[in-house]
Amino acid sequence: MPARVAGHCAGTLWPPSRTDAGRTRRGTPMERLMLLDGFGLVYRGYYALPPLTTAKGELVNGVFGFCSIVLRGFADLKPDYVAVAFDLSGPTFRHEQYADYKATRTRMPDDLRDQFPKVREVVKALRIPVYELQGFEADDVIGTLTRQADGRDLETTIVSVDLDMLQLVSDRTRLMTTRSGVENTIIYDPARIWERFGLRPDQMIDYKALKGDPTDNIPGVPGVGEKTAAKLIAQFGDLDTLYARLDEVKPDKLREKLGEHRQHVYEGQSLTTIVRDLPVELDLEASRLGDYDRDTVIRLFREYEFRTLIERLPAISGETAVEKIQALREVATSGTVPAARVGTERPAGWGSGRPIRAGSMGGEGLQLSLDFDAVGGTAAAGPAGRLIPSPGPTPGGERAPSTFDDLPTALVAAIEDPGHMELHEGDGIDALDPWVRAQAVLGVARIADDPRPRMGSALAFAVAGMDGRVVVAGGAEDADRLRHVVEASGLPIAGHEVKPVLVARIAADPAAPVTPVDFDTQVAAYILNAALRSQAIDDVVAERLDLVLPAAKEIAPVHRAGLEALAALAVREPLSRALLEAGLDRLYREIELPLIPVLARMEAVGVAVDMDALATLDREFGTEITRLEREIYDAVGHEFTIGSPKQLGVVLFEELKLSKGRKTKTGYSTDATVLEELVDVHPAIQPVLDWRIYTKLRSTYVEALPALIAADGRVHTTFHQAVAATGRLSSSDPNLQNIPIRTPLGRRIRRAFVAGAPDLVLVAADYSQIELRIIAHVSGDEHLRDAFARGADIHRETAARVLRKPAEEITADERSMAKMVNFGLAYGMSDFGLSSRAGISRGEAQEFINGYFAAYSGISYYMLHIKETARRHGFVQTLLGRKRQIPELHAGNPSLRGAGERMAINMPIQGTA
């Protein structure tokens, strides 16, 4: 077996000073090597992130975590070289040395194992060399590579979640690891190890040997934890000295345990020590970061739906930031024209406005400036030189005819050269009217400093024509002027979330006709797949045209607005075809599209708020909160932060010695369920629950609503048409759908919303038991349908059928339980859920549920049938044809599959309602 050499810092002054990245050797910056612990990073992503699935139902959270950490390393560490080490399947020399090594680990989940081939595909496309050796772990491979890197004057950073790697840290080697999630990282150098443990890196081996490691099944010494192990090694220096002077250890019990488990400790030392002289050779040329297969990486990221990671990809060798952005656009397949075919000239009649020029790279992102010189010519060289050429005039002074074949081609041109878009201002905007009126459909986009039209000002407005021409206006005054030209034409518009454009129109002139909407790409994409995590225009363009738009933060608002307007027209036809092919065109055209102007008018009009009523509530709530706080402090004997679950848990369960609730990672659970069980046990509990209600209502509504009131004295919520996976609307700023009504306090807040005029009233209307009626329809259950036909008390009748009692003998509690089941089963209520809500045992709850399905067998059959249908087809749909993809039904994780089954049952009901 190869010799094992522990890393050490002999001759170094301790404690050491903090080392800085980018050290130099004889005045020359040291080159940087980044070494990745492949298995550990994938493992971290799998367990630290929620179960992310693709539209195909493939779990990819481990892949995402790996890629995210790697890209974070690229950005933060700026390495010159990168390599990755993987563990191979099969036993290692440590298993031969200690048969129970890692014996306590459970078998790797199948849906984690399935992600490693995907990770290796990404690694291959990034052209990162892989190092692995049968019989050894990735730790040993990395230890060997770091030793070789030290001999080549490289500054090495290991990226791993395994703190065993701390023994490898030295003046030239650091460890970057995660503290939580996959993005919250910390870098360990010798100084930071000393700060945390009070030890040198080479002492970490003996430290772990003493305390053991349950993850690797290294026993250590029972009762010796992190503090005791660190104290012992700091005092004696190493294990040999510790055991040579064992009689100095106090207390006696600790000394006895150390002596008793001496063999285990030295076995642990051997198992923990990383091998550093394996027969692997660091190939720096192969490890150089630069020329990787960007097209394949982008294709894989799109396949795995990692669109947010695409913009984080590093530049290829010698590539400027502008060239990087341009290169991302060239990944065009069918449906686009290769960049080489894109012309840089325009048709005659264009160019009455100034072309947008690309500026220089300054600061963190791509900045665009506007060329206010004479129209035409090439972009002047900036500090970074001439970056993007703009089209020059023909000898006769007019621009040559366009070579654009279609809108996707025009989009590629506009992405690559902002000079293809015209900036107009002042009276020149009005001169666009003939061109605007000559179009059949206008693509529009509005960029504002606040997404709420009534709360902010426009930064840019853009109009794109079917001929590929794009005109933009910047600043609030010119942007609104260009919008007025569009509105005056009466032409239909297309865009990505066009509702804000309509709201701005209605807010300016409530009596004016609403601009007709031809197409909304956001709503169309949402209908096609509501399960996607994002429906941004960037995602739609990437999916339908295989192009990447530059991020909004990287370019000027006028450029971004122009791209969004043109992109909406470019994806309009592909989305229209997809809607027809999926049988969703009628839903889109007859329900969703006509709803847009309705929602726009609701947002623009808003709802009046009685400020005096809110002020009164604020005073009353403040007084009551103060009274409750005093009551709580008196009950427990001192003041503390009531809103801190950790402090509250200590007060209740340690100081007052109340029966302990369940514990979490951060302390005792103090949620409402736990506290409600203790109401009769201590006088502080009920005031705490009341305090939470008052503070929540005060912060969420009483204090927050005044900040959302516009200059007209009304709140203008934003309705979200493309968010909820079931097809329901949601709203925000404020969430008007969640105004409390079930409690007296909640109703007082609701009364602060008023009609706004003496001759107007507010009306609240709701369908009676609509979801239950839909269940009766889709399940065809004869008993439930008959009860509705007779106008019976549905919950009382349910209780009577389940309990086999006359309806008149049903008690209020029995009716209440039947109501819970009637409404809860559509949401996947279990016996545990029913027992918790009804205050009965799980056995009683299960018995009631079983009786329910026996009494309403049609519902039972429907639930089984819809789950099987969803598994077979991959989706469910509402009565109106709205579909929801449910990839979770095919997940390897049982909890994910269970969630998918609940979605399959609920979505057709809730989505139809």
pLDDT band at 542 (very low <50, low <70, confident <90, very high): confident
For the residues 644-670, what does the mean pLDDT come to?
A: 80
What pLDDT, on the 0 to 100 scale, is given for residue 454?
A: 65
What pLDDT, on the 0 to 100 scale, is given for residue 363?
A: 30
Greater confidence (246 vs 453) lies with 246
What pLDDT, on the 0 to 100 scale, is given for residue 589?
A: 94
Do 54 and 48 form a contact (C-beta atoms < 8 A)? no
pLDDT exceeds 70 at position 785: yes
pLDDT band at 14 (very low <50, low <70, confident <90, very high): low
pLDDT exceeds 50 at position 475: yes
pLDDT exceeds 80 at position 598: yes
Q: Mind listing the domains of the chain with CATH numbers?
A: 30-188+282-343 (3.40.50.1010), 201-274 (1.10.150.20), 407-605 (3.30.420.10), 611-752 (1.20.1060.10), 770-912 (1.10.150.20)
Q: Which H helix or E strand runs over 685?
A: helix 685-697
For the residues 672-696, what does the mean pLDDT come to?
A: 90
pLDDT band at 143 (very low <50, low <70, confident <90, very high): very high
pLDDT exceeds 80 at position 28: no
pLDDT exceeds 70 at position 838: yes
pLDDT band at 157 (very low <50, low <70, confident <90, very high): very high
CA dihedral (827, 828, 831, 836) in degrees, to 10, reads: -40
Mean pLDDT is lowest, of 37-46, 315-324, 498-507, 698-707, for: 315-324
Closest residue by Cα to residue 384 from 362, 405, 412, 402: 362
Greater confidence (103 vs 682) lies with 682
Identity at 778, one-letter amino acid code: V
Identity at 185, one-letter amino acid code: T
Do 471 and 421 form a contact (C-beta atoms < 8 A)? yes
Mean pLDDT is lowest, of 313-317, 333-337, 738-742, for: 333-337
Percent of the chain at pLDDT exceeding 70: 85
Query: Residues 73-99: pLDDT tens digits?
Result: 998 999 999 999 998 887 887 777 777
pLDDT exceeds 70 at position 376: no
**What is the DSSP code string of 807-866?**
GGG--HHHHHHHHHHHHHGGGT--HHHHHHHHT--HHHHHHHHHHHHHHTHHHHHHHHHH
Q: Is the dihedral of CA 890, 894, 898, 903 positive or negative?
A: negative
Q: Report the SS3 class of residue 776.
A: helix
pLDDT exceeds 50 at position 544: yes
pLDDT exceeds 80 at position 402: no
For the residues 122-137, what does the mean pLDDT come to?
A: 92
The residues near 65 (Cβ < 8 Å, ≥ 6 apart) are 41, 42, 44, 45, 46, 48, 49, 182
What pLDDT, on the 0 to 100 scale, is given for residue 322?
A: 40
What pLDDT, on the 0 to 100 scale, is given for residue 335?
A: 32
764 alpha-carbon distance from chain centroid: 35
pLDDT exceeds 90 at position 201: yes
Beta-sheet strands, E only, within 68-154: 81-85, 130-131
For the residues 166-190, what does the mean pLDDT come to?
A: 89
pLDDT exceeds 50 at position 497: yes
Do 355 and 419 form a contact (C-beta atoms < 8 A)? yes
Greater confidence (422 vs 413) lies with 422
Widest pairwise Cα distance in the chain: 100
What pLDDT, on the 0 to 100 scale, is given for residue 52?
A: 83
Rg (CA), the chain: 33
3-state class percentages of the chain: helix first, strand second, coil last, to nearest 5: 50, 10, 40
What pLDDT, on the 0 to 100 scale, is given for residue 6?
A: 41
Mean of all residue pLDDT scores within the chain: 82
pLDDT band at 339 (very low <50, low <70, confident <90, very high): very low
The residues near 79 (Cβ < 8 Å, ≥ 6 apart) are 32, 33, 34, 73, 157, 289
Closest residue by Cα to residue 500 from 533, 470, 522: 522
What pLDDT, on the 0 to 100 scale, is given for residue 834?
A: 81
User: Could you give the CA distance from residue 774 to residue 644 in angstroms, rounded to a whole number?
Assistant: 43
What pLDDT, on the 0 to 100 scale, is given for residue 405?
A: 45
For the residues 11-25, what does the mean pLDDT come to?
A: 51
- Which DSSP category does 415 fall into? H
